[in-house]
Structure 1
Amino acid sequence: MTTLPRHSAPPRPAVAPRVAAKIWLSVFLAANVLLVTVFFFVGGLSDRPLISIGRLAGLYAAQAMAFQLLLVARLPWLDRRLGMDRLTSLHRWTGFSLLWLLVAHVVFVVFGYAGLEGTNAASELVSLATTLEGILRAIVAFVLILVVGAMSVRFARRRMAYETWHFVHLYTYAAVVLAFTHQIAVGQSFTSSPVARGYWWTLWIGAGVAVLAGRFVLPLWRNARHRLRVVAVVPESANTVSVYLTGRDLDQLPARAGQFFLWRFLTRDRWWQANPFSLSAAPDGRTLRLTAKAVGESSAKLRSLPVGTRVFAEGPYGAFTAIHQQQPNALLIAGGVGITPIRALLEDVAGHVVVLYRTHRREDAVLLPELLNLAKARGGVVHLLVGPKEQSGPYGPQLGPESLYALVPDIAERDVFVCGPAGMTSAVLRSVRQLGVPAAQVHAERFSLAA
């Protein structure tokens, strides 16, 4: 068997990995929606249309809840193909859909029974909560999801520390348990059909197992096996530092250039903090390297991290990898600290590579010597674009379509990998669309904590 050179174009799969994952999720969701709809009609309708609508909304809400668990399970197969950006976006839309389905469930059921009993909605809600098993638990679950939904609105999210936002989201698990027990107690699908009951048990147990495996079992097993520890801390600039780690059997760790981990450095003052940092060098089977800029207290403390510190790492995560490369050549575009996954990708993408590195000042261009040496070794090109955001060149904005075309005339025949601040990333995506780069060839990683 002939071994391909490291930078030769990868063989294309019959279906692109991202497309395969989207098809799988769409088929899974459509099949489950169809099954639930069939079970609902087989179970029989209420004489009151409002009650029937409310019950159907409740079934779809329960299904959305299970789908949410699948999205947050961080299953490697899905994460490598869609990436946390897309999974986070799906999670957000599913969450708000779940919220509105629950609102519809409560409103239609309460008003339906109020009309049946000849009472007002408030009295009927109190009556249901005090006379039917599971209703009070459902109300508590509904309130918890309302709170989480309110905290997830962009206005509130931007004013909240990530740790606080994450802690509030943990209440969702309590809501899931309460909602499930409510469904067992009074759900018509559970009480009237053994087949439907078997379906719901399978769906909920499967979702729970996915979360348990992806969020707990797999990270614990990997860390017990690899036993990561810090072997060097190297300042790269006045406010940027690289941390080198080693461990056991790192050649068996399924990490790729462009991915990131959630790192916990197990010192007395920071073991409880998990920070997302990308690998800044392609994994070589012996060491891992992350490079971080001091943008907060936690990342600033990395400079004083003791050698020998044990590390608990969750991951690898992210679809910002060369497995998605479609064309023989690539363009890598980085802004600020987004250079870290781009620097790693420079070792892994195939063909001729052009790197565009956007910084405010030349002295901010960390890892530049490495980029230049790597590019030279493989016949690539690095363009350093320096200046404020509004900086323009001979062809307009530095990352505008005219400037990109002047620097990379064959951009439409390349895969484009973009990582940087959200504003810069959005500007580049607009530019490449105007230049006619097919969407399948554009791979973006928005460098933000939520991702």
Structure 2
Amino acid sequence: MTTVQIPVDRAPAQAGGASPKVVARTGLYALMAANVAVVTYFFGQSGFGTNALILMGRVTGLYGTLVMAFQFILVARLPWFDRRLGMDRLTTWHRWTGFTLLWLLLSHAVFITLGHAQLADLPPVTELVDLATTVEGVLRAVVALFLIIVIGGVSARYARRRMAYETWHFIHFYAYVAVVLAFTHQIAAGSTFNTSEPATAYWWGLWTFALGSVVVGRFGLPLYRNLRHQLRVAAVVPEADNVVSIYITGRDLHRMPARAGQFFLWRFLTRDRWYKANPFSLSAAPDGRSLRLTAKAAGEGSASLRYLKVGTRVFAEGPYGAFTAMHRTKPNAVLVAGGVGVTPIRALLEELHGHAVVLYRVRDPRDAVLLNELRHLALVRGAVLHLLTGPSAAPTPRGPLLAPHSLAAMVPDIRDRDVFVCGPPAMTDAVMTSLRELKVPKQQVHAERFSMAG
């Protein structure tokens, strides 16, 4: 264990009020609730009919369409929401609402088919075929449902872990096809859509906003920023045998709205890498002149970064993430890093005010990336740096290295600090469990998953 400490005056506490996460989360809930109310109103105006099964089919179809639009807003990467909630949280919500969407649309198909089969006194399969071949828009809806089932299947945890990211991402593009097919079905066959001019205007407005958010957030804004900043590789610096830092320069970088702790999706525009986007955190606080990322060779793509040539054009999407000082609630902080997850922690240490304790967990001291920089920053900032080495389960007088008693011994006032955690999932989960046992308030805990950070 290495400890460096110089006393420093504590930074003043931030002003009170609702946290950015609470404000953004409340905004999303309010947006969803308002749309549910509007859809319910237009549904009531369109009439309920006499068949209970068809009624249930219409209800599940309407709310399924609303959830589908909400899905696109969650992954539109709108900066205001992303800075306050983070891509990790938004992506998790997208995943779970995706399964909700799947069940709603399946229920819609089943109830509508059974209801019409009951009215026509026909077997359900026969009625489904009849609807698909005689009613405009139904066949498109069947194809859309099939695509959504496929997308839902590959998004299940078991399938996702066994599939290359590029394959999974390509299959997800079919969601846009499903949306077009489902919306044209709604236009052709949706009685609530056509019940009045305000209802029609509402649905068109909802989908214009949802798809427009995707176009702006995922395509328009990245394209604008890259055309403006003209990013290029300025230097490639090996940090260790399997770790390299890439320095990026460009025009007007002082106007790039990046903060320490955030990450970009980086594309290096070479013949063999231009189509690969990899998430790497900034490993130094933005200074308005350059950006730096530090990557460990975890695969063929990241291993090839050390061979990039100076002057290589870069296309960067971002900055993304809520792992920033914007979310601090206390004047002092604890920064917990594991492995190459230290990169956003190192950047945060450079930007944070107030007293900080850094816990850097590695299996072997040789794995401690950027350790000299951390030691220098600790001296300059008056922080305390603990380098924790050895197996996670290695016995100590206070239990495992990141167990509750160990954390409390290293940081006695941990309940009065913000805690920032970034590292491999197992380590992050262990720290989060320890923090819960120590009763650190939830609003003071900020975690970034290693998969998005490094």
Cα shift at 1:196: 1.1
Q: SS in structure 2 opposite 1:383? A: strand
Q: Distance in 2 between matches of 1:412 and 1:10?
A: 15
2:18 corresponding residue in structure 1: 15
Q: Distance in 2 between matches of 1:350 and 1:90?
A: 32
2:392 corresponding residue in structure 1: 389
Q: Is the 8 A contact 2:281 2:453 kept in 1?
A: no
1:428 corresponding residue in structure 2: 431
Q: Distance in 2 between matches of 1:132 and 1:13?
A: 58
Cα shift at 1:11: 3.3
Q: Distance in 1 between matches of 2:259 and 2:153?
A: 36
Q: Is the 8 A contact 1:191 1:197 kept in 2?
A: yes
Q: Distance in 1 between matches of 2:128 and 2:424?
A: 48
2:410 corresponding residue in structure 1: 407
Q: Distance in 1 between matches of 2:452 and 2:89?
A: 14
1:315 aligns with 2:318: yes
1:96 corresponding residue in structure 2: 99
* Among 36, 42, 47, the residue aligned to 1:44: 47
2:375 corresponding residue in structure 1: 372
1:29 aligns with 2:32: yes
Task: Out of 205-214 and 10-19, give the one that drifted further.
Answer: 10-19
The within-5 A match list for 1:252-291 is 252-291=255-294
The within-5 A match list for 1:69-218 is 69-218=72-221
Q: Distance in 2 between matches of 1:297 and 1:6?
A: 46
1:208-267 deviations in whole A, cap 9, x for unaligned? 111110011100000000000001000001100000010000000000000000000000
2:69 corresponding residue in structure 1: 66
Q: SS in structure 2 opposite 1:295? A: coil
Cα shift at 1:350: 2.2
Q: Distance in 2 between matches of 1:77 and 1:52?
A: 38
Q: Distance in 1 between matches of 2:300 and 2:9?
A: 39
Cα shift at 1:94: 0.8
Q: SS in structure 1 opposite 2:280? A: strand
Q: SS in structure 1 opposite 2:430? A: helix
Q: SS in structure 2 opposite 1:292? A: strand
Cα shift at 1:392: 2.9
One-letter amino acid matched to 1:379: G
One-letter amino acid matched to 1:12: A
Q: Distance in 2 between matches of 1:59 and 1:46?
A: 15
Task: Out of 372-381 and 191-200, give the one that drifted further.
Answer: 191-200
2:354 corresponding residue in structure 1: 351
Q: Distance in 1 between matches of 2:15 and 2:98?
A: 34
Classify 1:77/1:220 alpha carbon distance in 2 versus 1 (closer, same or farther; 3 Å): same
Q: Is the 8 A contact 2:344 2:453 kept in 1?
A: no
Cα shift at 1:389: 2.2
Q: Distance in 2 between matches of 1:12 and 1:48?
A: 57
- Normalised by the size of structure 2, how large is the TM-score? 0.97
How many aligned positions are there? 447
* Among 344, 359, 364, the residue aligned to 1:361: 364
Q: Is the 8 A contact 2:362 2:390 kept in 1?
A: yes
Q: Is the 8 A contact 1:325 1:349 kept in 2?
A: no
Q: Distance in 2 between matches of 1:185 and 1:76?
A: 35
Higher relative contact order structure (alpha carbons within 8 Å, sequence separation ≥ 6): 2
1:417 corresponding residue in structure 2: 420
Cα shift at 1:195: 1.3
- Structure 2 gap segments, 5+ residues each: 1-7
One-letter amino acid matched to 2:258: A
Q: SS in structure 2 opposite 1:129? A: helix
Cα shift at 1:7: 8.6
When the two chains are superposed, the root-mean-square deviation of aligned CA atoms in Å is 1.4
Q: Distance in 2 between matches of 1:42 and 1:53?
A: 16
Q: Is the 8 A contact 1:114 1:124 kept in 2?
A: yes
One-letter amino acid matched to 2:372: P
The within-5 A match list for 1:231-242 is 231-242=234-245
Q: Is the 8 A contact 2:421 2:447 kept in 1?
A: yes
One-letter amino acid matched to 1:151: V
Q: Distance in 1 between matches of 2:184 and 2:333?
A: 52
Cα shift at 1:10: 6.3
2:443 corresponding residue in structure 1: 440
Q: Distance in 1 between matches of 2:414 and 2:42?
A: 51
- Structure 1 gap segments, 5+ residues each: none
Task: Out of 384-393 and 365-374, give the one that drifted further.
Answer: 384-393
Q: SS in structure 1 opposite 2:227? A: helix
Q: Distance in 2 between matches of 1:271 and 1:239?
A: 22
**Identity among equivalent pairs (%):** 63
1:306 corresponding residue in structure 2: 309
1:35-86 deviations in whole A, cap 9, x for unaligned? 1111111110121100000001000000001001101100000000000111
Q: Distance in 2 between matches of 1:279 and 1:312?
A: 15
Q: Is the 8 A contact 2:283 2:292 kept in 1?
A: yes
Q: Distance in 1 between matches of 2:232 and 2:190?
A: 50
One-letter amino acid matched to 2:280: F
1:244 corresponding residue in structure 2: 247
One-letter amino acid matched to 1:396: G
1:328 corresponding residue in structure 2: 331
Q: Distance in 1 between matches of 2:180 and 2:419?
A: 43
Q: SS in structure 1 opposite 2:209? A: helix
Q: Is the 8 A contact 1:7 1:348 kept in 2?
A: no
Q: SS in structure 1 opposite 2:221? A: helix
Q: Distance in 1 between matches of 2:408 and 2:103?
A: 45
Task: Out of 139-148 and 189-198, give the one that drifted further.
Answer: 189-198
Q: SS in structure 2 opposite 1:319? A: coil
Cα shift at 1:450: 10
Q: Distance in 2 between matches of 1:256 and 1:7?
A: 22
